[in-house]
Structure 1
């Protein structure tokens, strides 16, 4: 498994360190690379098809597509219906994933939930399902590798930060590094919902600290303050994703004061599509 370097970043007169998991691979990078560790180490002959589901700009979708292209596995991805505009786009995660060989299947809104619940019922031994966002118990192995890398860097910093969708990365990282404080913030729903998601896998450890955003943010919706944070990060020298990172950085700047290592989740390939949404809303970049 490839190791990622650490960069130093100065933001609002504070020093941060960034674990550059975004540099591992153009598509199979960030926390999705860690979550797919077990599958990446699996011999290609064990499976011939991977199934997953979720949103059409998902970083996990793109990472799985890249993995399947490398392994020569068929990749079938289920979503709710999408518009013709998105289908015809020539940029973004959905476009790249399709070019990598992903088979996209739309399921009607009224049947989607029941369909996803049923896809495990008729599997054969050569088919494997990756739950939305890569939220599986198998993800723990890759996060333990990340934890070992962080220890080997041997920095004086003892606080880490990573944003949460399902919360899998933050949870398993905190469990693997009990001597560190791990900050996270919910990017989908609120802290209560995030804790419920995490608790399905494991009891939440004491070293996992939840930072509640100052107001409720809807996932993937354009917000001027997020674009403002993104501008500061770019000026500091590192590009982060526009879906998860701005909310996490905003909370870190407002609610913490120590030196922190931020785990870069990757996902910057989706920024072009997200910036188009900002433009459509009249919130022009910078």
Structure 2
């Protein structure tokens, strides 16, 4: 484990950018996945639960993180995988770490608590982990990112799918009374709901700004412009971005600077939340 994760300064398109390298924490339980699972695993241990049940799509970094983390901690893991049964490199890695996969139709998948109850209601050894790790335990882990910062920043950026990581960051900013604006980039269409999700965990949203126009067509959607941005940024800085989360956030940063919404001389920190294996689902687009 590389903790606290380092902050690297890079230059790209004439702008200096600081990157919090949570992607370097662990090769498989990296970024916000490690932050979220830290206290989930602690809670499971305190309750003497040995079998984690979770949920995700066929290219879910969350599933891979759970699989690797449970293997390291000598626990069992089962995942309900959304959609028809498939085989891909991500799921193969999950199985290598010992995770059992249960494919479930998309309609049934929407009712995660019901699935859990249907299959595991009589098993006292299991522990429910929501999709993406969303939980109050995850919030505590993500808030610790702010506590690791040894200097101030005008702006902090993060990508968002469920809003848990963003809520933790905002809680940390508010707790330390920092003069920092948190910019959240939803990676799916209709991302306005993210602010409501954040508000479930943190009521003071004064330092939050949501930018909902950088989804590039929706969750797991890309465009040639985004793919070219990833190629350009990675070859210029040596930092690999994934096409699902971090690339959309990074693109937003430089677009907002170009538009004058973020001042060019502002001190900006980008949280790299890992998830690099997500590139496997789009690898043909980089050829």
Shared fold (TM-score, shorter chain, > 0.5)? yes
| Aligned-partner SS, 1:119 | helix
| Aligned-partner SS, 1:249 | helix
Displacement, 1:162? Answer: 0.6
* Alignment-derived partner of residue 245 in structure 1: 246
CA contact 2:159–2:246 (8 Å) conserved in 1:
yes
Q: Distance in 1 between matches of 2:37 and 2:146?
A: 15
Q: Distance in 2 between matches of 1:12 and 1:227?
A: 17
Structure 2, unpaired ranges of 5+: 257-261
* Alignment-derived partner of residue 203 in structure 2: 203
1:115/1:44 CA distance change after superposition, 3 Å: closer
Select between 132-141 and 201-210 the one with higher mean Cα deviation.
201-210
RMSD: 2.2
Select between 214-223 and 257-266 the one with higher mean Cα deviation.
214-223
* Alignment-derived partner of residue 97 in structure 1: 94
* Alignment-derived partner of residue 255 in structure 2: 254
1:192 aligned to 2:200?
no
Q: Distance in 1 between matches of 2:100 and 2:141?
A: 26
1:275 aligned to 2:283?
yes
* Alignment-derived partner of residue 155 in structure 2: 159
Select between 215-224 and 167-176 the one with higher mean Cα deviation.
215-224
CA contact 2:189–2:212 (8 Å) conserved in 1:
no
In the TM superposition, what whole-angstrom CA distance separates every residue of 1:5-54 from its partner, at most 9, and x where no partner exists?
11111111001111111111110110111011113445488111000112
* Alignment-derived partner of residue 63 in structure 1: 65
1:188/1:212 CA distance change after superposition, 3 Å: closer
* Alignment-derived partner of residue 259 in structure 2: none
| Aligned-partner SS, 1:36 | helix
Structure 1, unpaired ranges of 5+: 279-283
CA contact 1:44–1:72 (8 Å) conserved in 2:
no
Query: How many residues are paired up?
Result: 271
1:113 aligned to 2:113?
no
Q: Distance in 1 between matches of 2:196 and 2:173?
A: 21
